[in-house]
């Protein structure tokens, strides 16, 4: 199977699983399963095997869900970034913001601080104009 087909299949699978895992019915099902496990304790004398069932099950599910949800989150982040880049390129915004997600942490921090200062100046100008009008 080629990488493209595998990637497409996994993306579709991850999206489906992520959507299902976020539904209230899925949460209720998980609670019911945990309650059924807890109520079965006396029948199994709270044995090590009984405890191992829930521990192993939750560990495996958690391990697999990390990959599924990370894939979904990565695709969502890339799609959002592409949309923002398109808005920047088609607006009066400065094109230097396209691709800033590739900057290192320090560069992002510096850019964020510069933007915060710029926003503060704009806010002060707006406040001054509002006072002049009133």
- Residues 58-74: what's their mean pLDDT? 93
Give the pLDDT of residue 48.
Answer: 95
3-state class (DSSP) for residue 99? coil
Is residue 113's pLDDT more than 90? Answer: no
Banded model confidence at residue 132, pLDDT cuts 50, 70, 90: confident
Give the pLDDT of residue 1.
Answer: 59
3-state helix, strand, coil in the chain (%, to 5): 85, 0, 15
Rounded-to-integer distance, Cα 59 and Cα 41, Å: 19
Is residue 73's pLDDT more than 70? Answer: yes
Is residue 74's pLDDT more than 80? Answer: yes
Banded model confidence at residue 34, pLDDT cuts 50, 70, 90: very high
- Residues 116-120: what's their mean pLDDT? 84
Banded model confidence at residue 94, pLDDT cuts 50, 70, 90: confident
Is residue 52's pLDDT more than 80? Answer: yes
| Per-residue DSSP letter, 98 | T
Instruction: Encode 8-34 in three state secondary structure.
Output: HHHHHHHHHHHHHHCCHHHHHHHHHHH
Give the pLDDT of residue 32.
Answer: 96
> 70 or 98, which is more confident?
70
């Amino acid at each position: 199977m080629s990488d493209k087909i595998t990637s497409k299949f996994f993306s579709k699978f991850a999206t489906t699983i992520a959507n299902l895992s976020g539904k209230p019915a899925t949460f209720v099902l998980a609670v019911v399963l945990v309650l059924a496990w807890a109520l079965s304790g006396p029948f199994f004398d709270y044995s090590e095997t009984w405890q191992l069932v829930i521990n192993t099950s939750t560990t495996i599910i958690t391990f697999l869900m990390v990959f599924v949800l990370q894939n979904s989150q990565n695709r969502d982040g890339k799609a959002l970034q592409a949309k923002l880049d398109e808005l920047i390129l088609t607006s009066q915004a400065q094109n230097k913001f396209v691709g800033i997600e590739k900057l290192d942490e320090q560069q992002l921090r510096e850019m964020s601080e510069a933007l915060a200062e710029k926003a503060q100046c704009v806010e002060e100008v707006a406040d001054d104009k509002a006072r002049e009008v009133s």
